[in-house]
Amino acid sequence: MQIIPAIDIYKKKIVRLLKGNFNKIHYFKKKFKNFLKYFLKNKIKNINLIDLEGALKKKTKNKKLISSIIKKLKKNKINSNIGGGIRKIKTIKYYLNIGANKIILGTAVIKNISFFKKIYYKYKKKIMISLDIKKGHIMLNGWKEKYINLKKFMKKIKFYKNEIIVTNIDKDGTLKGIDLKFNKKILKIIKKNKIIFSGGYLNKNYTKIKNMSKRIKGYIIGKYLYKKIENDF
């Protein structure tokens, strides 16, 4: 199981939210070079780079900054997975062409399955979906809109074979530890795909998560990472 750092971008700044609340944004003072030092020191191979402003406004908003980070990561042989407000094939093509490893799709996929099928069959393993869950339902548009029950959604995407990112919104940004019961429920609902979990990560949870299932491909760290960088870099 790999640990995957997340870098969230909002108004050209690196930020963190608490439980997805845009009224509780913490602007991070350290620069990207501090993140890169952490990645290299800890031999990180994959990071998720999310345009939070793009997710909120339903279109790419921080393209220039994200592009520069993609190029710096590639130069240092670190893969970048890009998400947040990506709703056009030309945007997917652009990010892949400049060196992004994979594209993360959320709201655009969930509300338009035919569009998703088109993207999925065109780019195949370069595409993965991210589902933000609260009380068994998928939340959309920056976690503000309740949409569909997870079980119902999985029936709609039986054709999809790649990994799925699942975020526990109630744990995200809290630093209170992983909800193991939540993860077990998700594994029962998502029965075939590999899963990358997110929300509440603490180092002490690593072994429990790793041993839970071979289908758990990784765990995303956010605020846990930011605290480390604040203290060490």
Query: Could you list the active site residues?
Result: 8, 132
Count of beta carbons in the 10 Å neighbourhood of residue 11: 12
- Whole-angstrom distance, CA of residue 188 vs CA of residue 119: 27
Is residue 165 exposed (0-12), middle (13-18) or buried (19+ Cβ within 10 Å)? Answer: buried
Is residue 200 exposed (0-12), middle (13-18) or buried (19+ Cβ within 10 Å)? Answer: buried
- Whole-angstrom distance, CA of residue 71 vs CA of residue 78: 10
- Whole-angstrom distance, CA of residue 210 vs CA of residue 215: 9
Pinpoint the alpha helices (H) of 16-149: 32-41, 52-57, 63-75, 89-97, 107-110, 113-123
